[in-house]
Amino acid sequence: MKTHTDYNLGIIPLLKLKLHTMLDIQKIREDPEGVLARLRCRDPSLSLDRLLKFDSKRRELIRRVESLRHELNRGSEEVAKLQRHGKKEEAQGLIARLRELSAEIKALERELGEAEAGLREELLSLPNLPHESVPMGPDKVVLREWGEKPEFDFEPKNHVELGRSLGIFDFERAAKIAAARFPLYCGLGALLELSLLQWMFELHVREHGYIPILPPILANRRSFEVSGQLPKFADELYYCPDDGLFLNPTAESLLANLHRDEILEEEALPLRYVAYTPCFRREAGTWGESQRGLIRMHQFNKVELFHYTTPERSYAELDELISNAEVVLQCLGLHYRVTLLPADDLAHQSAKTVDIEAWLPAQGRYYEVSSCSNCEDFQARRGNIRFRPKEGGKPRFVHTLNGSGLATSRLFAAILEQNQQADGSVTLPEVLAQRVGIDVLRCTTSGELRRGSR
């Protein structure tokens, strides 16, 4: 015989589901027009109509299920009472009604599940709200420059031409092995690439106090939902369907999951991590002549910086993150500028982004070599990453920040182009010269490298 508890199975989990995995639903309910206005600074086509309909339907279904559940529980208790007093016929009549209630609840549960799924999909598709200091566009704002633009009394060569004559990378053989837009560093080019990575990694650990991490370069779907790449940008990711794993497009995606489903102590914050990974991006689309070589590739190496902090400190942390990334360019003696991105250029997960752009003389333009972002609690909500306030109270969501510290590809191009000489040689920055034991990259008429003097 069924007891009253048998009629309640499957109801409680749905009612306990918390929508903390994306933008704050309470904020949207309280001010839908204000939230929409901020979102449309990023994308004028965005709408909250479907989201609000799913949310309204979900809350109404929860009320109906809870009401029927209450009726079911009271009826179940009455059945037990009737049976104890030997009133079997009355009990049987009431049991028939309870079965109808149970069936109705199960049908409503299915509707509730569909409403939950629809609401979650809508919330996951929305980008982060831009910070109030972010310009509404359309142009980025130049905040400052560092160093002087190098002046040449000859026509500066593109890094592709320089690299080919120096014999330090080979894009033709890379394409033969893989496809176009993949790199192949060779000879001193390979040594310089590794030296650059190791130097940057150690700089952030020893001088800036970051915790070193060497993470997996594959991650599951949940990890990319937390970081913000999924579900909207699935086409940009390399996917291994047999394993259900994605190749890392940026170590941000991995580091954003280090403390997933954890509660951190406020005393431990801020936590600052540095990671090295190769990065893989499909970069769908077409590119012009200006984006050949190391400018836009499917595979590149990157040192990534990632901060976990309190909401009150997150914008001070952003300033520090930017400063730490700038030190790399300053130590290399490269001219660069710092720019604030407008709302419609922000990454999906970012509330505010500041780019660091190195100067490439051959093209007469700047290219982004580091993008430093404050995601506020966007990723933390998706990953349920909170901290326990030291003064007590309920756990709160952390803020997460990320930035390249740096990616080597465009940085390598800037090193070659800004330090080139009239004879095709390249003078190396002192920090790299010390590591590889050579001051100047030169080439013979056969294109083979020879050592410069020290």
Place of tokens 């080139």: 420
348: its two tokens: 């999906």
Predicted confidence at residue 83, as pLDDT, reads 72
CA 411-412-415 angle, 5° bins: 85
Give tens-digit pLDDT for 225-241. 999 999 888 999 999 99
Please give the pLDDT value at position 211: 98
DSSP letters, 371-429, are EEEE-TTHHHHHHT-EEE-TT-SS-EE-EEEEEEEEEHHHHHHHHHHHTB-TTS-EEPP
Contacts of 105 (CB under 8 A, 6+ apart): 7, 11, 65, 68, 69, 72
Give the number of other Cβ atoms within 10 Å of residue 60's Cβ. Answer: 13
Contact (CB, 8 A) for 171 and 293: yes
DSSP state for residue 148 in the 8-state scheme? P
pLDDT at 266: 98
CB 174 within 8 A of CB 182: yes
The phi and psi torsions of 265 (rounded to 5 degrees) equal -85, 135
| Spatial separation of the C-alpha atoms in residues 342 and 130, rounded to whole Å | 9
How many CB atoms are closer than 10 A to CB 390?
11
- Give which of 369, 348, 344 is closest to 357, Cα–Cα: 369
Tokens 């200091």 correspond to: 133
Domains recognised in the chain with CATH numbers: 4-125 (1.10.287), 141-450 (3.30.930.10)
CA 35 to chain centre: 22
- pLDDT tens digit sequence for 367-422: 999 999 999 999 999 999 999 999 999 999 999 999 999 999 999 999 999 999 99
Closest C-alpha to 397, from 1, 122, 128: 128
Radius of gyration for the alpha carbons in the chain, expressed in angstroms and rounded = 29
- Sign of the Cα torsion 63, 67, 68, 73 reads positive
Report the distance separating Cα 182 and Cα 170, nearest Å.
10
| pLDDT digits (tens), the chain, 454 positions | 344 334 333 333 333 445 555 678 989 999 999 999 999 999 999 999 999 999 999 999 999 999 998 888 888 777 777 777 766 667 677 777 888 888 899 999 999 999 999 999 999 999 999 999 999 978 999 999 999 999 999 999 999 999 999 999 999 999 999 999 999 999 999 999 999 999 999 999 999 999 999 999 999 999 999 999 998 889 999 999 999 999 999 999 999 999 999 999 999 999 999 999 999 999 865 566 667 899 999 999 999 999 999 999 999 999 999 999 999 999 999 999 999 999 999 999 999 999 999 999 999 999 999 999 999 999 999 999 999 999 999 999 999 999 999 999 999 999 999 999 999 999 999 999 999 999 999 975 334 444 444 4
Residue 4: partners with Cβ closer than 8 Å, 6 or more residues away: 72, 73, 75, 76, 77, 79, 80
- The SS3 assignment for 24 reads coil
Whether the model clears a pTM of 0.85, i.e. scores above it, the answer is yes
Pairing of strands 440-443, 426-427: antiparallel
- Give the separation between CA 312 and CA 305, rounded to whole angstroms: 20
396: left (phi over 0), alpha (psi -120 to 50) or beta: beta
Active site members: 281, 296, 368, 371, 410
